[in-house]
Amino acid sequence: MPELKVEVIPEGTVIDHIPSGKWLKVIEILGLTKPNGGTLLIASNVPSKKLGRKDIVKVEGRYLSEEEVNKIALIAPLATVNIVRDYRIVEKFNVEIPDEIVGILRCPNPNCVSNHEHVTPKFRVESREPLKLRCHYCERTVEGDDILGNI
Amino acid sequence: MDWKGRDVISVRDFSKEDIEFVLKVAERLEEELKEKGSLDYARGKILATLFFEPSTRTRLSFESAMYRLGGSVIGFSSASSTSVKKGESLADTIKTVEQYSDVIVIRHPMEGAARLAAEVAEVPVINAGDGSNQHPTQTLLDLYTMKRAFGRIDGLTIGLLGDLKYGRTVHSLAEALAFYDVELYLISPELLRMPKHIIGELREKGLEVHETTDLEDVIPELDVLYVTRIQRERFPDEEEYLKVKGSYQVNLSVLKNAKERLRVMHPLPRVDEIHPEVDKSEHALYFRQVFSGVPVRMTLLGLTLGVL
Ligand SMILES: Nc1ncnc2c1ncn2[C@@H]1O[C@H](COP(=O)(O)OP(=O)(O)OP(=O)(O)O)[C@@H](O)[C@H]1O
Ligand SMILES: [Mg+2]
Ligand SMILES: [Zn+2]
């Protein structure tokens, strides 16, 4: 019997294994905060074997694509995504860090043009393990806490 | 590679073939210019030089290059005389200026400004320095100067001297040299060593890289000594700065043990890291280096305009 901490949904997407406290960032990044965005079920600070504590976000009536969900990989690298149809999980995948990070992270370089002009910040992923990004504009690299601190 | 309409923003965008091609065309243009005095490839074309930050040298070099190609130049040399002061966005400035010109050269105090300008503009954009990030035409003219002086870059033993930690010029130069079969000596005070990740990249690409703090020790090995300025701000105290500055000054006595063919380069302006007594020696290549800026920039203007 699956652990159903929040209500079941008939159709939609369950994003599981989000680090505790990050659910709000997740729905912001995925653009799910809009009033017409459909019903969301949130469980926060749920006990988890893998993470100690975790958040779960359930999106009713929408199937998120891998590409869409990969945007949360920087803050929820271990998230698993479950596609629910007719109350059952029909598909499950892990998020993956995409090759390019667009619009999620601010450049930590205060003198980077992306912090002064009206542009969407953009980074290329130079390495995944350890995670290293390079700003498309100022060409500086960003690593570690500088990544999380600027999301 | 189709050069027409291409932007020149960062050394990172270049392949070895791109670099070799630019150097070859520059050589051709230099010869042609010597023969004919002036050329007319860019007749009827207009270059806009947008210098949001002053830089006499680079701006004059670009303007000279455009005139020598037969084109004309418009532009400004400081942001204070423009509508930027009134709060205009960079994107709007670029979109306006490109209505008046066929190619844009931009120098801007913010990192990434040239990349942004290139994204906004339809006409080609050439980066003449974006904050502490890139200055690709300097790197290309440095390579060109070496190639002209030695006939080749492969096989050279090159010393980079001075502030290797913060100096963007030496970082891009080293990255570009990684395309070649050269041996590098990185000569700097302990405090200003080249960042480990850059050295790692260079070694990964197969370069033999040596680090040292002692100039006199390695000078007999070198074919090229590329000198850069050490800035006082980098040091915690005056005493330490003076000590370091003294031990890295290139003068005739330091050059006594150098190979006859050693050539000394410097991106200029220099303060006192090369003694003026070196100017008259066979070793001095830095004024020739300034001259190289013109054929190299003619090449980049001509290629991106699609007129060569
Ligand atoms: N119909 C449903 N409606 C809402 N949530 C569901 C539904 N079915 C499963 N879930 C939730 O989806 C997540 C994954 O369920 P699953 O049964 O695959 O658990 P699991 O075996 O622990 O998977 P994992 O190894 O990914 O942790 C759980 O959080 C579960 O509560
Ligand atoms: Mg589970
Ligand atoms: Zn940046």
What is the 3-state secondary structure of B184-212? EEEECCHHHCCCHHHHHHHHHCCCEEEEE
pTM: 0.90
Decide if B111 and A116 are in contact by the 8 Å CB cutoff: no
pLDDT class for B267, splitting at 50, 70, 90?
A: very high
Q: Whose CA is nearest to atom 24 of ligand 1?
A: A80
Mutation site for B-interface testing, chosen from A107, A112, A113, A127 by largest number of B Cβ within 10 Å: A113
Instruction: Give long-range contacts, CB 8 A cutoff, 24+ apart: B75-79.
Output: B75/B47, B75/B48, B75/B49, B75/B50, B75/B51, B75/B105, B76/B49, B76/B50, B76/B51, B77/B49, B77/B51, B78/B51, B78/B52, B78/B53, B78/B54, B79/B52, B79/B53
Q: What mean pLDDT do residues B162-172 have?
A: 91
- pLDDT score at B83: 65
Total count of domains within chain A:
2
In this structure, of A47-51, B96-100, B183-187, the range with the lowest mean pLDDT score is A47-51
A44 plus A88 within the same structural domain: yes
A111 plus A42 within the same structural domain: no
A72 plus A116 within the same structural domain: no
What length does chain B have? 308
Q: What mean pLDDT do residues A6-27 have?
A: 93
Question: Of chain B residues 243-282, which have a CB less than 8 A from chain A?
Answer: none
- Cα separation, B48 vs B153, in Å, equals 33
Average pLDDT along chain B: 94
- pLDDT score at B231: 83
Domain B137-289 has CATH 3.40.50.300: no
pLDDT class for B240, splitting at 50, 70, 90?
A: confident
pLDDT in tens, B75-107: 998 877 666 667 889 999 999 999 999 999 999
CA separation, residue B180 to residues B158, B174, B242 (Å): 11, 10, 35
In this structure, of A50-59, A70-79, A87-96, B77-86, the range with the lowest mean pLDDT score is B77-86
Contact between B224 and B251 under an 8 Å Cβ cutoff? The reply is no
Q: What six digits make up the tokens of B256?
A: 């006594």
Is B234 among the catalytic positions? no
Average pLDDT along chain A: 92
A118 plus A64 within the same structural domain: no
In this prediction the ipTM stands at: 0.91
User: Percent of chain A, pLDDT > 90?
Assistant: 81
Q: Where are the domains of chain B?
A: 11-134+293-305, 137-289
- Looking at the predicted structure, is the pLDDT value of residue B134 above 80? yes
A148 or A117, greater pLDDT: A117
B99 or B233, greater pLDDT: B99
Q: Is there a common fold for B11-134+293-305 and B137-289?
A: yes
- Cα separation, B250 vs B260, in Å, equals 15
pLDDT in tens, B220-232: 999 999 999 988 8
Decide if B90 and A137 are in contact by the 8 Å CB cutoff: no
Is B107 among the catalytic positions? yes
Decide if B90 and A113 are in contact by the 8 Å CB cutoff: yes
- Summary count for chain A: helices (H), strands (E): 3, 9
Q: What H or E segment, with its residue span, contains residue A1?
A: none
- Looking at the predicted structure, is the pLDDT value of residue B282 above 50? yes
pLDDT class for A1, splitting at 50, 70, 90?
A: very low
CATH number, position A115 = 2.30.30.20
Q: What mean pLDDT do residues B224-241 have?
A: 88
Instruction: Name residues whose C-beta falls within 8 Å of residue B186's C-beta, 6 or more positions apart in sequence.
Output: B159, B160, B164, B193, B194, B199, B209, B210, B211, B212
Contact between B259 and B265 under an 8 Å Cβ cutoff? The reply is no
Phi then psi for residue A100, to 5 deg, are -135, 135
Contact between B264 and B278 under an 8 Å Cβ cutoff? The reply is yes
Q: What mean pLDDT do residues A102-115 have?
A: 95
- Catalytic residue selected from B45, B68, B107, B266: B107
- Looking at the predicted structure, is the pLDDT value of residue A84 above 70? yes
If 0-12 CB within 10 Å is exposed, 13-18 middle and 19+ buried, where does residue B298 land?
A: buried
Q: How many CB atoms lie within 10 A of CB A14?
A: 21
Q: What H or E segment, with its residue span, contains residue A18?
A: strand A11-19
Burial A105-132 (b: 16+ CB within 10 A, else e): bebbbebbbbbebebebbbebeeeeebb
A6 plus A57 within the same structural domain: yes
A74 plus A105 within the same structural domain: no
CATH number, position A87 = 3.30.70.140
- Looking at the predicted structure, is the pLDDT value of residue A37 above 90? no
CA A71 and chain centroid, separation: 5
Residue type, B71: G
- Region for B111 from its dihedrals, namely left if φ exceeds 0, alpha if ψ lies in -120 to 50, beta otherwise: beta
Residue where a domain stops, chosen among A49, A78, A94: A94
- Domain boundaries, position A58: 2-94
- Looking at the predicted structure, is the pLDDT value of residue A78 above 90? yes
**Which one of the ligands is nearest to A83 CA?**
1
- Cα separation, B182 vs B174, in Å, equals 10
- Short-list B73, B82, B77, CA closest to B56: B77
- Short-list B301, B306, B305, CA closest to B66: B301
Assigned fold of B11-134+293-305:
Rossmann fold (3.40.50)
Residue where a domain stops, chosen among A53, A68, A94: A94
A39 plus A55 within the same structural domain: yes
A33 plus A81 within the same structural domain: yes
pLDDT class for A2, splitting at 50, 70, 90?
A: low
Is B43 among the catalytic positions? no
A72 plus A119 within the same structural domain: no
Q: Which residue stretches of A33-85 are H helix?
A: 66-69
Per-residue DSSP letter, B274: B
A90 plus A124 within the same structural domain: no
A76 plus A117 within the same structural domain: no
Q: What mean pLDDT do residues B215-244 have?
A: 90
